[in-house]
């Protein structure tokens, strides 16, 4: 495509530059409006500058991608409610054998969860679990945070629903879900393994050094206090006390281990009442008929005392009977609630598995995700507003603005002209061509972000590869998906998942930790280059 007129080229470049600055630096001092507003501003400028027409701008918005993104976000919200991430968090520390084992577990669980539930969602949920585990084992947090973020990016490359750029590639390339997974899965598995080995090699000595023992004990105790909340006996303080030992012995004799209907405890209390009444009557009948007046007065006093004690015990037994009856009904309700909760969780997992199977069968990805989301809304049988409010609508709006902005920049002819100069050196049927293409994608993904890079390069790269063969066209899309995703590990700013882990770690109450830019870069550069290179040889 030839360059457009000079005016369109200049104005389109200005609009795209504004979008790029606000997308990469959302809190830039001279215009701190954020990424979402920045994408809308870029889109509006493309229309105002007449780089594209309003109708063309609307046509540039890819509704299938938005539908797939919306559906997967809703499903992730319901999976979070169904405690799937809590179970994943428990797997991190279950029968752990030390710091090295924890690193490997975090890499594996982060990669798998990101492939199924998107990398951003996994990082939001798992960061706090990782911090708690690091503190509980008296270990420095940053190797574990790096394991979480880097493995989330690598793992998300394996499926079309793992990250936003893969959604774009899957929809635009029309590669089926199954073919996409089979093409990248070997590279993802080996990449996660290599990433874990690099973490162990780089931080081996650090993982063997523990913190101060006194601080460690305090942290573990605090953790146990959070987990082991138990019933307090203070709620039973209203019961009358005859004698503490006698009351305890009576409670032990009335230890309620009955069936949920509570009939056993009720019959036992009735027996107690009958015994008290008969004992009272026997005490009264023991008075001899020929007693003196003083003896009668003494017996009358004893009778009054016995009556008072008997009445007090009967009242206590009745009170306990009422309490046990209430507890029995509450146990019934709790049991019913627990079973309903378990059935609902099963339904959520069943629908999610059904969605994944449907995607593997090659059904329309966006409508499959939307159908699964609506099925979960219906099964929940409550007002869906609280769950739908958790959907990141700002991300959907960001995508709308980005589609228009990138389409306008493509209309200037600059991307196609640059690709025309580079195309002879980036043929994917040669090793050197793959290397050049990977470097270009790697640099652009860190300069312009991975989703705009995919939108800018996807069409030209796939068309160039398809001219060689149809299989090379598909392979070019998969290479673009792999490199643009793994490129996010290069620096802290390279991926939204990195920033999420950094911010979540910094804001977690009582577990705050700041993952610095340089600590990430020290590990990110070698990991990105090695994992990218190994993955390129395994993509089919």
Per-residue confidence at 308, pLDDT binned at 50, 70, 90?
low
328-343 residue pLDDT tens: 666 766 878 888 889 9
Q: Is pLDDT at 495 greater than 70 in this prediction?
A: yes
| Positive or negative torsion for Cα 297, 299, 300, 305 | positive
Q: Between the CA of residue 396 and those of 37, 64, 213, 402, what are the distances in Å?
A: 12, 12, 47, 10
Please, how many CA atoms are within 13 Å of residue 221, restricted to the half-sphere of its CB?
6
Distance CA 369, CA 175 (A): 16
- Is 290 part of any domain? no
Nearest to residue 166, comparing CAs of 427, 445, 440, 465?
445
Domain of residue 355, residue span: 62-206+330-388+413-539
Asked which of 37-41, 192-196, 284-288, 426-430 is least confident by mean pLDDT, the reply is 284-288
**463: how many CB neighbours lie within 10 A of its CB?**
13
pTM of the model: 0.72
Q: Is pLDDT at 208 greater than 50 in this prediction?
A: yes
Asked which of 69-73, 154-158, 529-533 is least confident by mean pLDDT, the reply is 69-73
Coil, helix or strand at residue 140: coil
pLDDT at 196: 96
Tell me the average pLDDT across 290-299.
50
- Is 20 part of any domain? no
Q: Is pLDDT at 26 greater than 90 in this prediction?
A: no
- Is 373 part of any domain? yes
- Is 172 part of any domain? yes
- Is 7 part of any domain? no
216-254 residue pLDDT tens: 434 443 344 333 333 333 333 333 334 444 444 443 444
255-267 residue pLDDT tens: 434 344 444 444 5
CB-based burial label for 234 (10 Å; 0-12, 13-18, 19+): exposed
Q: Tell me how many domains the chain contains.
A: 1
- Is 417 part of any domain? yes
Distance CA 41, CA 25 (A): 14
Both tokens of 211, joined, read: 């913190």
- Is 381 part of any domain? yes
pLDDT at 2: 72
């Amino acid at each position: 495509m030839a360059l457009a007129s000079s005016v369109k080229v200049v104005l389109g470049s200005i609009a795209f530059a504004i979008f790029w600055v606000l997308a990469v630096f959302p809190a830039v001092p001279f215009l701190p409006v954020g990424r979402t507003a920045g994408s809308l501003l870029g889109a509006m400028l493309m229309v105002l500058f007449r780089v594209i027409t309003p109708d063309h701008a609307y046509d540039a918005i890819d509704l299938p991608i938005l539908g797939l993104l919306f559906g997967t976000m809703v499903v992730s919200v319901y999976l979070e409610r169904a405690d799937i991430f809590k179970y994943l968090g428990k797997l991190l520390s279950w029968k752990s054998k030390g710091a090295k084992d924890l690193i490997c577990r975090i890499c594996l669980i982060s990669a798998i969860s990101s492939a199924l539930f998107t990398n951003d969602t996994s990082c939001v949920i798992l960061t706090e679990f990782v911090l708690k585990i690091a503190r509980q084992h008296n270990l420095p947090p940053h190797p574990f945070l790096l394991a979480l973020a880097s493995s989330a990016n690598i793992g998300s490359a394996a499926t079309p629903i793992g990250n936003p750029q893969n959604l774009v590639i899957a929809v635009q390339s029309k590669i089926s879900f199954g073919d996409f997974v089979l093409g990248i899965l070997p590279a993802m598995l080996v990449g996660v393994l290599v990433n874990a080995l690099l973490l162990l090699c780089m931080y081996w000595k650090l993982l063997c050094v523990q913190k101060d023992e006194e601080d460690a004990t305090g942290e573990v105790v605090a953790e146990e206090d959070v987990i082991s909340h138990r019933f307090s006996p203070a709620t039973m303080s209203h019961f009358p006390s005859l004698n503490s030992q006698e009351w305890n012995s009576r409670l032990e004799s009335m230890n309620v281990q009955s069936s949920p209907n509570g009939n056993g405890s009720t019959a036992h209390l009735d027996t107690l009442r009958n015994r008290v009444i008969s004992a009272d009557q026997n005490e009264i009948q023991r008075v001899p008929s020929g007693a003196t007046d003083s003896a009668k007065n003494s017996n009358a006093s004893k009778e009054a005392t016995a009556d008072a004690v008997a009445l007090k015990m009967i009242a206590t037994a009745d009170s306990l009977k009422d309490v046990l009856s209430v507890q029995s009904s509450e146990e019934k309700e709790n049991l019913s609630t627990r079973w309903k909760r378990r059935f609902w969780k099963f339904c959520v997992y069943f629908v999610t598995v059904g969605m994944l199977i449907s995607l593997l069968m090659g059904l329309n990805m966006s409508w499959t995700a939307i159908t699964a989301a609506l099925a979960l809304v219906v099964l929940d049988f409550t007002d869906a507003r609280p769950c739908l409010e958790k959907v990141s609508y700002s991300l959907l709006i960001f995508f709308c603005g980005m589609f228009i902005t990138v389409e306008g920049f493509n209309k200037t002819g600059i991307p196609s002209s640059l690709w025309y100069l580079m195309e002879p050196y980036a043929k994917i049927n040669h090793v050197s061509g793959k290397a050049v293409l990977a470097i270009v994608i790697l640099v652009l993904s860190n300069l312009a972000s991975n989703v705009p890079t995919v939108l800018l390069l996807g069409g030209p790269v796939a068309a160039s590869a398809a001219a060689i063969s149809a299989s090379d066209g598909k392979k070019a899309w998969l290479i673009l998906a792999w490199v643009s995703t793994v490129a996010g590990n290069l620096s802290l700013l390279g991926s939204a998942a990195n920033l999420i882990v950094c911010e979540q770690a910094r804001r977690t109450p009582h577990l705050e930790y700041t993952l610095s830019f340089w600590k990430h870069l020290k590990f990110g550069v070698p990991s990105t280059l090695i994992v990218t290179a190994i993955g390129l040889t395994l993509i089919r």
